[in-house]
């Protein structure tokens, strides 16, 4: 039987993995619960491991705590190719533990807005290029509206999560349930999302529109050859 504290630790690990795209470190678990040393965290992780709720992957890495079961004992199959078996709140986390890095969350439109479904396609281990990846994610571009900014169909844009942008920033903008990458510009009465291709029109967002900035583009990765379209 798990103690109430062990259950709370497990719930924190699942929640953290869902919110950040990767599991917490032992030190981050300890900070959350006020444990004075890593031994306190390891005690509860040992309980969870023995009960089959977590396991460790990638020995020697700091983020190796992987949840594998819910608190009712059902196998969550966190490396399954059948994520539909998982509860909604854990579905995204289910595909994360295979490797560390920046999660690729699907596609984003660089033409007309396109639904950006947060189905994780894989991970990019880019620690050398982006040593602080805590607030980063990646999206695959679909379309040619940002061609003249060097962002092409099939590219991966690396995005820093933030809700504000400056004029001239390339941003991932969410309009309703759709997402697009454009250059941000604010006017007196609106926000303009500007393409970098004369074949596409500027999107104008005014007060009352369902709009938000999901992040600012900080990098670009261009796969070559057969791997380009993934």
- Indicate which residues carry an active-site annotation: 145, 182
- Cβ pair 198, 143 in contact under 8 A: no
- Half-sphere exposure for 20 (CA within 13 Å, toward CB): 18
State how far the alpha carbon of 104 is from the alpha carbons of 5, 61, 141, in Å: 33, 20, 11
In the numeric block, the tokens 């992780």 are attached to 45
**What CA–CA distance (Å, rounded) separates 180 from 54?**
37
Report the alpha-carbon angle 113-117-119, nearest 5: 150
């Amino acid at each position: 039987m798990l103690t109430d504290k062990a259950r709370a630790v497990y719930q924190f690990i699942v929640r953290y993995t869902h919110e950040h795209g990767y599991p917490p470190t032992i030190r981050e678990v300890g900070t959350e619960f006020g444990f004075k040393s890593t031994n306190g965290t390891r005690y509860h992780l040992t309980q969870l491991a023995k009960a089959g709720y977590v396991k460790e992957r990638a020995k020697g890495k700091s983020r190796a705590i992987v949840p594998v079961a819910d608190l009712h004992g059902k196998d969550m199959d966190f490396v399954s190719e059948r994520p539909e078996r998982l509860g909604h709140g854990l579905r995204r986390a289910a595909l994360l533990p295979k490797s560390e890095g920046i999660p690729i969350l699907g596609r984003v439109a660089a033409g007309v807005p396109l639904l950006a479904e947060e189905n994780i396609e894989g991970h990019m281990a880019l620690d050398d290029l982006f040593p602080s990846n805590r607030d980063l994610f990646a999206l695959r571009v679909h379309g040619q509206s940002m061609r003249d900014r060097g962002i092409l169909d099939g590219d991966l844009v690396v995005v820093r999560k933030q809700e504000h942008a400056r004029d001239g920033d390339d941003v991932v903008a969410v309009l309703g349930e759709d997402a697009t990458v454009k250059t941000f510009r604010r006017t007196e009465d609106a926000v303009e999302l500007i393409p970098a291709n004369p074949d596409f029109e500027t999107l104008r967002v005014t007060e009352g529109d369902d709009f938000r900035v999901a992040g600012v583009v900080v990098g670009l990765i261009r796969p070559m050859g057969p791997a380009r379209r993934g």
